[in-house]
Amino acid sequence: MKTTDIERTRMDQDDEKLLAAYREGDSEALGVLVDKYKRPLFGFILRFSEGREDADEIFQEVWVRAIKNMNRYRQKSLLSWLFRIAHNLMIDRVRRRKFVLSLDTSASEDGIPLSERLAGTGLGPDSETGGRELGLRIEAAAARLPLEQREVFWLRMQADLSFKEIAKIQKCSINTALARMQYAVSKLRKELAGEYRDLREAGI
């Protein structure tokens, strides 16, 4: 399910009600909120973490921080706020561990590059359709992008955030976010030259 399928809310009344209910002691309200945004958020975190368990820890931390700091919450979109926290957490981790995600070079225990491992796992039934091959190639190519470009790419393509929201998350201008996306698209175009050629030849 794409984020676009989820109702893109601007801190809609539902979210506010759920948060208020949780504060008043309704623990189920938190479950509903987490469930609502888990796909795009967890999918994003998974791409920048070291596996499902690691991603799950970050995911938990994002929610804990989000709820704890809800009084500082100024954005209209809860999802955007969650991504912002996730971004900050990942930046902290990169700085602390010097764990720069160079997926093309870092290999897993079995020797398979992490990029391929990520591309090959966790894909749903959609991936079994005709677009799977191209999708896998996009995954692998995107995994080789520099961190900031990769982040813009996935925030836009997967989480469906606007460039304005991405700029806020990355603490940069909209033009910078756009430029990062253009660099990412340009590199993917080179990597996926064959696919692009097919597209042109198809005369679409």
Partner 1 sequence: MKRKKLEKCLLLEQSGELSPRQLRQLERELAASENARILRQELGRLRGSVLLPETEPFPWTVARISARLREERRPVLTATQVIKPVLALAACVMAVAGIFNFHGKQAASSPVAVVAAAGVDVWNDPLEGDLSRLERQIAAISGDSIDIMEM
Residue numbers at the binding site for partner 1 (CB under 8 A): 1-2, 27, 30-31, 34-35, 38-39, 42-43, 46-47, 52, 55-56, 59-60, 63-64, 67-68, 119, 121-127, 131-132, 134-136, 138-139, 156-158, 161-164, 178, 181-182, 185, 188-189, 196, 199-200, 204
**What is the identity of the amino acid at 126?**
D
Residue 147 is classified by DSSP as H
Which two structure tokens, joined as six digits, stand for 33?
């909120």
CB atoms near residue 158 (< 10 Å)? 16
Radius of gyration of the chain (CA): 18
> 20 vs 95, which CB is nearer to partner 1?
20
Rounded to the nearest whole angstrom, what is the least distance from the CB of residue 163 to partner 1 in the complex?
6
The pair of three-digit structure tokens given for residue 171, joined into one six-digit string: 């603490």
- Distance from the first to the final alpha carbon of the chain: 26
Q: Which is nearer to partner 1, 11 or 185 (CB)?
A: 185
Tell me the closest approach of the beta carbon of residue 104 to partner 1, in angstroms.
Answer: 18
| Backbone conformation region of residue 36, classed left if phi is above 0, alpha if psi is from -120 to 50, else beta | alpha
The secondary structure of residue 126, as a DSSP letter, is G
Q: Kindly state the smallest distance separating residue 98's Cβ from partner 1, in Å.
A: 26
Nearest to 12 by CA among 78, 81, 83: 78
Which lies closer to partner 1 via its Cβ, residue 111 or residue 124?
124
Cβ closest to partner 1, residue 44 vs residue 87:
44
Nearer to partner 1, 17 or 164 (CB): 164
Name the minimum Å distance from CB 115 to partner 1: 13
Taking the least distance from each CB to partner 1, the nearer of 135 and 146 is: 135
What is the closest distance, in whole angstroms, from the C-beta atom of residue 64 to partner 1 in the complex?
A: 5
Alpha-carbon distance of 44 to 200, in angstroms, equals 31
Assess contact for 113 and 106: CB atoms under 8 A: yes
User: Rounded to the nearest whole angstrom, what is the least distance from the CB of residue 72 to partner 1 in the complex?
Assistant: 15
